[in-house]
């Protein structure tokens, strides 16, 4: 394992220009999908695919415990020591270093690691939510890993997670955990009105429409952090509603740097606007709250029944 990276307090919200780590991000995205498909294969189904997500830890991301016969095990990305670590309920621990290597090699070594721990898991070896779905066994194009930028990415997730947890705590209705979707490589939290939604049209690259329709079976207001890609050339916080109510794109919101993207059909707040703010947590929280209020008010949600009010509201 490599030596831990020491960071100063002012780097709690570090710079993460997409162009500077695009190759590492693309590689790490595929590695995350490989591990994520382990959770998909083993975890009992939960509505909206909440059973497949990762969670932020003090060192990186975790699958959380997964069942395997009479045992359980977890897989963690450690972005401090830069290792992939597998721990089992019977006390075994093993891992792989996170170093520059192809997706094909990572897939091979990861499968070997699981077998050595007597963890027999059938993984569907194809990526999702990307335009070019090269099978993991054949992907030698993505082979980059810059530990500095991987660490920065995790630091942003670690700073964003408690703000989203605080935002989540204001809601009394059905709400997702704050969790990391390895398909899109984003940290998200989703609130629900309680009503069924119209059938989603689907159309996400290399994802069956039935998968998307399960995810959006009910009305949502969702928000999160994404490192960027495609028409979004920088990391950003996002917020959207499904179905999108009339007038949503024109709704007032905070802070002033936030805007509605016609390409993405969602509100975006550039990460730099949060990182460079005097009080980043409060700026981010204002974005999460104002975009939710736009969705809830225009969508005629029963806010009185769904929201926490009074002294307990954080």
The average confidence (pLDDT) of the chain is 95
Query: Given a cut of 60, is residue 36 above it in pLDDT?
Result: yes
In tens, the pLDDT along 209-227 reads 999 999 999 999 999 999 9
* Average pLDDT estimate for 221-237: 96
Q: Is the pLDDT of residue 160 over 90?
A: yes
Concatenated DSSP letters for 273-305? HHHTSSSHHHHHHHHHHHHHHHHHHHTT--HHH
Q: Which residues contact 301 (CB under 8 A, 6 or more apart)?
A: 193, 219, 295
Residue range 72-122, pLDDT digits in tens:
999 999 999 999 999 999 999 999 999 999 999 999 999 999 999 999 999
Q: Which of 67, 83, 66, 93 is nearest to 31 (CA)?
A: 83
Q: How confident is the model at residue 28 (pLDDT cuts 50, 70, 90)?
A: very high
- Domain range list for the chain: 17-138, 147-312
Model confidence at 309, pLDDT cuts 50, 70, 90, reads confident
What is the band of 9 on the pLDDT scale with cuts at 50, 70, 90? very low
Model confidence over 247-298: pLDDT tens digits?
Answer: 999 999 999 999 999 999 999 999 999 999 999 999 999 999 999 999 999 9
């Amino acid at each position: 394992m490599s030596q831990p990276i020491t960071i100063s307090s002012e780097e709690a919200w570090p710079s993460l220009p997409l162009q500077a780590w695009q190759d590492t991000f693309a590689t790490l995205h595929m590695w995350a999908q490989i591990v994520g498909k382990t959770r998909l294969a083993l975890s009992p189904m939960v509505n909206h695919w909440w059973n497949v997500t990762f969670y932020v830890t003090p060192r990186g991301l975790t699958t959380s415990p997964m069942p395997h016969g009479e045992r359980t095990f977890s897989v963690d990305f450690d972005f401090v020591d830069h290792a992939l670590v597998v721990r089992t309920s019977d006390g075994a621990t093993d891992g792989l270093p996170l170093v520059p290597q192809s997706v094909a090699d990572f897939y091979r070594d990861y499968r070997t690691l699981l077998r050595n721990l007597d963890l027999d898991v059938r993984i569907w070896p194809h990526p999702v939510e990307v335009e070019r779905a090269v099978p993991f066994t054949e992907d030698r194009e993505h082979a980059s890993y810059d530990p500095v930028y991987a660490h920065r990415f995790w630091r942003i997730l670690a700073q964003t997670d408690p703000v989203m947890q605080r935002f989540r705590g204001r809601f009394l209705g059905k709400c997702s955990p704050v969790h990391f979707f390895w398909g899109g490589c984003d940290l998200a939290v989703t609130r629900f009105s309680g009503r069924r939604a119209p059938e989603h049209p689907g159309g996400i690259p290399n994802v069956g429409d039935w998968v998307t329709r399960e995810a959006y079976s009910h009305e949502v207001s969702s928000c999160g952090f994404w490192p960027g890609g495609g028409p979004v050339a920088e990391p950003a916080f996002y917020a959207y509603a499904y179905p999108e109510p009339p007038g949503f794109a024109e709704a007032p919101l905070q802070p002033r740097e936030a805007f509605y993207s016609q390409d993405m059909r969602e509100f975006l707040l550039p990460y730099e606007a949060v990182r460079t703010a005097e009080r980043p947590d409060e700026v981010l929280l204002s974005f999460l709250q104002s975009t939710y209020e736009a969705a809830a008010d225009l969508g005629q949600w029963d806010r009185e029944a769904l929201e926490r009010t009074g002294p307990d509201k954080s």
